[in-house]
Amino acid sequence: MKQAADPVVYFGNYTPVGDIIVICICIIILILIQTTYINRTRSFSIFFSMLCCLFVASVMDILYHVTLTIYGIHSSGYALIYIARFVYHFLLYGILFLYVWYITEVQKLNWNQRMIVFSVAGIGLITILVYDMLGSLLGFGFRIDNNVQVEGFNEFIFGYVYFVSIIVFLLIKYRNTIFRNVMIGFYGSAVVSFLILGIQVMYQQTSFTVSTFLLPIICMFYLLHSNPYDVESGAVSLSALEDLISYNYRRNREMIIISLYMKDFEGEGKHFPKELRTVIRRFAGEFFKGAVMFQVNSAHVILIADTYKNPDYENRVNRIINAFLAEYERFQYKYKLIIGKSIDEISRRNEYVGFIKDIMMRMEDNDVHFIEYSDVTVYNKHKYILDELGDIYRRRDMNDSRIEVYCQPVYNVKTKKYDTAEALMRLKLPEIGMVFPDQFIHLAEEYGYIHVLSLIILQKTCAQIRKLIVAGYEVKRISVNISVLEMRDENFCNDINAVIKSSGIPDDKIAIEVTESQNESDFIVMKAMINELKEHGIKFYLDDFGTGYSNFERIMELPFDIIKFDRSLVIASGEGEKSEKMVESLANMFANMNYSVLYEGVENELDEKMCIKMSASYLQGYKYSRPIPIERLTEFFDKRIS
């Protein structure tokens, strides 16, 4: 027993330093929560509740000891002492219970597992609190009797050990559900807390009890809830975007979304220059209240703001557009700007990144697009196509019925026959029917599905060539389009050779069409792949010559067999004598170097005569045939003469 009149003995050497430090740190964390972006998950809500309980517990611990100091020898203050002490313990037990709940949330335990844990923790919590209360009321626990403080049985240590045992059990039992470094953080903070508590008991101190609860909370905040801003641009990592969308959708809050993409900075090792980051940082904080900016990649940022904080958002949008266009005059970087309000359907599915990317694919450079619901309709179609492409990729069925081969016959000027053709890919999907290449090739390339699609087309083309040969038709070759991106795969040549060999047709019955690449590394890889496959007799076409990028030096280095002149050159040659001579000179140059020249987009007799005059070896276009199912090539190819 301790005499209340002797404060030194009575308080067990308590000082409020530990609690004051905890209060200060809690306030700092609360400030950080308000000034940085935090993932508003359910686990964060539990964490925030723990932080609030810790703050109040520190206040109550100080209040409890201050009450002891003021009323320790006066019976009029006993009730305040009992209440302060009970609330203090209730908050500490509550933190321990919340810690158990937090661990189950982080470990993503199923409902049954959580119910077992909550039952064990809940029974313990109620039992300890009832014991604490009854102990003071019935006299077998903490009480003040005749101005003397009697501790009785110290149920707090028992409760502390009880909850810590549950937490340790969960961390060990379900350790495989948590990343190792996060687990080390939990263990490390717990060990330090136990050491502080042990040292405190050893020296008969009570000043730092609440501090031992603070350390795991700091660990949680740093490991699981911190999401720092980029110091220069003010952007938050993309991982927080879905959380913000979900948070606002659950609360039925409408958002303003502004997306900025600058393709000059797309790619590994690239980033916005310092001057531009300064402008973006200003945009992130100046035009909208409470706006958060997310970094999608090195060239793409998304700004999101709540409309309820910005009721005059239309004026703010106009201001930010005007300010952006003024900055564009200074920097002159290509951009795509997308602006609009949130749409429930996209918010519910939390697909704004994909939705915005889909819009960007359909935009021209240096354009501003305002989001409309029609964008959702287009996106849903593209998403369905993408899902089907993903399924085709995963199944890798070389006879997948969703991929159909169409062909466009090619007229041989020398033989005046149709003995070659170009294989063209089509998708035939259950919900939307026929899908043309311009609607899915870019998706297949972006998501890495293109090579499997090409192998399926090659397989089906080879199978049809074999049928034509067996049926006695003259087939010089059929070309298949290949993406440059496929050639980055070291197994590309083996895959192509394997399909052709398994079909049982001669290698020279297949040709591959590729488009020239601007990328130096792609050029080197392309050159090696072409040389390797040409050793097997496969022919190569340079596709789309005359559109965009053309480097004659590189073309000369690549061992193409046929140069395909784009329709744009056919049109240009008909616009005047100067243009015709220029195109003719290019064609003659290639012909003199033993390249065959194929003109695409021949639509009438005038086009045909002009192209034949300009060294054409092959002609392709609507004059001869639109793309047809590959099975209908028998309508154009001749049978061999016995």
- With cut-offs at 50, 70 and 90, classify the pLDDT of residue 74: low
Spatial separation of the C-alpha atoms in residues 439 and 378, rounded to whole Å: 10
- With cut-offs at 50, 70 and 90, classify the pLDDT of residue 8: very low
Calculate mean pLDDT across residues 574-582.
85
Q: Are 457 and 403 in contact (CB under 8 A)?
A: yes
Phi, psi of 560 (to 5 degrees): -75, 160
Question: Which segment of 17-26, 155-164, 375-384, 407-416 scores lowest on mean pLDDT?
Answer: 155-164
pLDDT at 253: 92
| Helical ranges in 174-307 per DSSP H | 180-202, 209-220, 241-250, 274-286
- With cut-offs at 50, 70 and 90, classify the pLDDT of residue 453: very high
Residues 227-238 pLDDT 10s: 666 656 667 777
Ranked by mean pLDDT, the top range of 78-87, 201-210, 282-291, 497-506 is: 497-506
DSSP 432: T
Spatial separation of the C-alpha atoms in residues 309 and 317, rounded to whole Å: 14
pLDDT at 290: 84
- pLDDT beyond 60 at 285: yes
pLDDT at 2: 41
Residue closest to 358 by CA, chosen among 389, 325, 384: 384
Spatial separation of the C-alpha atoms in residues 525 and 531, rounded to whole Å: 10
pLDDT at 422: 97
Calculate mean pLDDT across residues 68-82.
70
Calculate mean pLDDT across residues 92-117.
91
Tokens of 158: 């028992």
How far are the Cα atoms of 335, 406, 481 from residue 637, in angstroms, in the given order?
A: 49, 15, 21
Q: Are 279 and 323 in contact (CB under 8 A)?
A: no
DSSP 486: G
Find all residues with CB under 8 Å of 542, minimum gap 6, and list them: 513, 514, 515, 516, 555, 558, 560, 562, 563, 564
pLDDT at 518: 67
The order of strands in the sheet holding 2-3 is: 2-3, 148-150, 143-145
Which has the higher per-residue pLDDT, 452 or 202? 452
Calculate mean pLDDT across residues 448-459.
96
Phi, psi of 397 (to 5 degrees): -85, 115
Q: Please work out, in degrees rounded to the nearest 5, the angle formed at the alpha carbon of residue 525 by the alpha carbons of 520 and 528.
A: 130
pLDDT at 7: 38
pLDDT at 9: 35
Spatial separation of the C-alpha atoms in residues 324 and 333, rounded to whole Å: 11
Spatial separation of the C-alpha atoms in residues 278 and 274, rounded to whole Å: 6
Residue closest to 300 by CA, chosen among 270, 322, 274: 270
- pLDDT beyond 60 at 73: no
- With cut-offs at 50, 70 and 90, classify the pLDDT of residue 75: low
Calculate mean pLDDT across residues 508-513.
96
Calculate mean pLDDT across residues 598-608.
94
Calculate mean pLDDT across residues 10-36.
83
3-state secondary structure 123-164: HHHHHHHHHHHHHHHHCCCCEEECCEEECCCCHHHHHHHHHH
pLDDT at 5: 42
Residues constituting the chain: 642
Residues 118-156 pLDDT 10s: 999 999 999 999 988 888 888 777 777 665 555 656 678
Residues 365-387 pLDDT 10s: 999 999 999 999 999 999 999 99
Residues 44-66 pLDDT 10s: 889 999 999 999 999 999 988 88
The burial class, CB within 10 Å (0-12 / 13-18 / 19+), for 467 is middle
- pLDDT beyond 90 at 284: no
pLDDT at 3: 41
Phi, psi of 442 (to 5 degrees): -65, -30
Quote the strand ranges of 17-98, DSSP E: none
Spatial separation of the C-alpha atoms in residues 515 and 481, rounded to whole Å: 9
Per the prediction, the chain carries an average pLDDT of 88
Residues 250-272 pLDDT 10s: 889 999 999 999 999 988 778 88
Calculate mean pLDDT across residues 59-78.
76
pLDDT at 247: 87
What are 294's strand-pairing partners? 236, 302
pLDDT at 258: 95
pLDDT at 468: 96
Calculate mean pLDDT across residues 345-364.
94
% pLDDT > 90, the chain: 55
- pLDDT beyond 90 at 274: no
Residues 473-493 pLDDT 10s: 999 999 999 998 999 888 999
% pLDDT > 70, the chain: 93
- pLDDT beyond 90 at 23: yes
- pLDDT beyond 50 at 4: no
